[in-house]
Amino acid sequence: MGVAAAEIRLDQRVTSFVKERRKLLIGGQWVDAASGKTFPVYNPATGDVIAHVAEGDKQDIDRAVKAARRAFESGAWPRLTPSERGRLVWKLGDLILEHLEELAELESLDNGKPINVARAADVPLAADLFHYMAGWATKIEGNTIPISVPYAPGAQFHAYTLREPVGVVGQIIPWNFPLLMAAWKLGPALAAGCTVVLKLAEETPLSGLRLGELIQEAGFPDGVVNIITGFGETAGAALAAHPGVDKVAFTGSTEVGKLIVQAAARDLKKVSLELGGKSPNVVLRDADLDLAVAGTAGAIFFNHGQCCCAGSRLYVQQQLFDKVVEGVANEARKIKVGPGLDPETQMGPMVSEIQFKRVCGYLESGINEGAKAVVGGKKLSGKGYFVEPTVLVDTRPDMKVIQEEIFGPVVAAIPFKEFDDDLVKAANDTVYGLAAGVWTKDIGKAHALASKLKSGTVWINCFNIFDAALPFGGYKQSGWGREMGHDALDLYTQKKAVCAAL
């Protein structure tokens, strides 16, 4: 398990961006928080402060919601044609690609993820999401419906439906994929014609604030997108509860998702949620061993394990168990852990001290309850929030490391004997249902298992495959609704039935 060391020099635009105290975007203007407060942003690779941003709270949320309401009901935005709206969304995608290196460095600096991953995945996928959703702006359609009214024989009617934007949307995004999650939320909302108050994660606000500048550069009217930095218990809670918000979209933990629902219930806001996961990853005895080892290692160690869909429960049929465990452990040993900005880094730090302590707490709990670490199992010494990539064995179904979402580079490997109902029961034995993986050469078994897994996504002989056209979301306590694909438009539109007598 190597530790990368050397960091690259930052792009001058990034250096200048983080040096300036960052403000809130409200009504097309960059403004200080009403309280005048700011808070520090930390580099998770060192624990050092890298920037200061405005600390928005309830008063700032109120200003932003009112600006979004004005933009939704008057001004240029509601008068734009769908084609004009689509061109703005497309232009935003173009601008993201034009600033790819700058955004990748901000993402790596702020979140800790490897710079090569940010360049190859996070930023291009964010741009692709806006390009994809731009095309839907002109394809949000209703239907004409022939109706027969029994109590009005002979009467003629023209009946049709309209799909209209839901209104002012409050969006709250997490820290694990800051830019990409902003795109997932903003793309369909803007394509549908909504206006937005976007609350960024306090741990990772930098790329979202830079995105706000690109939104202005693209030419979106003032107030269409408002961006607030602040803390969940103040700004986030105020956004979820604000009576001027028509719908709340949240990505984050299931625990916070439940609080969002409670706040939104006061005035029956529409709510969509993309929440936690404890995803099963199943390797059958006929799987391609090399493919399964590399794929299951990537399923848990990608993005430092800080993925809601991470394959954190690895079920391996008995005949392959020792080989798969040793293979994944060897993959873990080869991972170069270090600062995200080092081009040699393959896995960066946990995003914050809080998350670092959380993951270390789970490791301690697992070991104390009898689990064994084949590799890893502890934090790395020195500065920064680094945790070793870890493979656990000898676990029990009732252990916290099996039942609860760790959100770190920790996988529990569990043997099973037969491809039967007991395997399905074990894989589904969780309150979550976000994703799952299946590794086998038998396509019949693959699809049979996919049909029985209670997960919003099932990957077969692959993992972590995302596309703007492919819907993503969860069963059970992993959330409500779907991100991406045309399904996402359902979250930001509502249907109106119109019936005219002829």
Would you name the residues annotated as active-site residues? 274, 308
Amino acid at 293: V
CA distance 317 to 308: 25
pLDDT at residue 8 in the model: 67
- 139 burial type by CB count under 10 A (0-12 exposed, 13-18 middle, 19+ buried): exposed
CA distance 204 to 388: 22
Contact predicate 276/478, CB 8 Å: yes
H-helix or E-strand spanning residue 109: helix 100-111
Name, in order, each residue with C-beta under 8 angstroms of 367's C-beta and a sequence gap of 6 or more: 373, 377
Among 230, 240, 192, smallest CA distance to 25 is for 230
CA distance 223 to 501: 39
List phi, psi (to 5°) of 67: -65, -40
Q: What is the pLDDT of residues 336-356, one digit of tens each?
A: 999 999 999 999 999 999 999
CA distance 379 to 389: 9
CA distance 100 to 113: 15
Give the residue extent of every domain in the chain. Answer: 24-275+479-499, 280-468
pLDDT at residue 9 in the model: 79
Q: What is the end-to-end Cα distance of the chain in Å, rounded? A: 76
Q: Distances in Å between the alpha carbon of 381 and those of 44, 237, 463?
A: 14, 36, 31
pLDDT at residue 309 in the model: 97
Per-residue 3-state assignment (H helix, E strand, C coil) for 226-248:
EEEEECHHHHHHHHHHCCCCCEE
pLDDT at residue 5 in the model: 54
Distance of alpha carbon 20 from its chain centroid, rounded? 27
Q: Scan for tokens 């969509």, then name that residue.
A: 272
Does domain 24-275+479-499 fall under CATH 1.20.120.140? My reply is no
CA distance 107 to 261: 29
Contact predicate 366/395, CB 8 Å: yes
Q: Please give the DSSP secondary-structure letter assigned to residue 249.
A: E
Ranges of residues in the chain whose predicted pLDDT is under 70: 1-8
Contact predicate 170/270, CB 8 Å: no
Contact predicate 372/272, CB 8 Å: no
Hey, how many other C-beta atoms are within 10 angstroms of the C-beta on 258?
Answer: 13
Q: Please give the DSSP secondary-structure letter assigned to residue 409.
A: S
CA distance 62 to 74: 18
Q: Within 13 Å and on the Cβ side, how many CA atoms surround 398?
A: 2
Could you tell me the pTM of the whole model?
A: 0.96
pLDDT at residue 245 in the model: 98
**What architecture is the 280-468 domain classified under in CATH?**
3-Layer(aba) Sandwich (3.40)
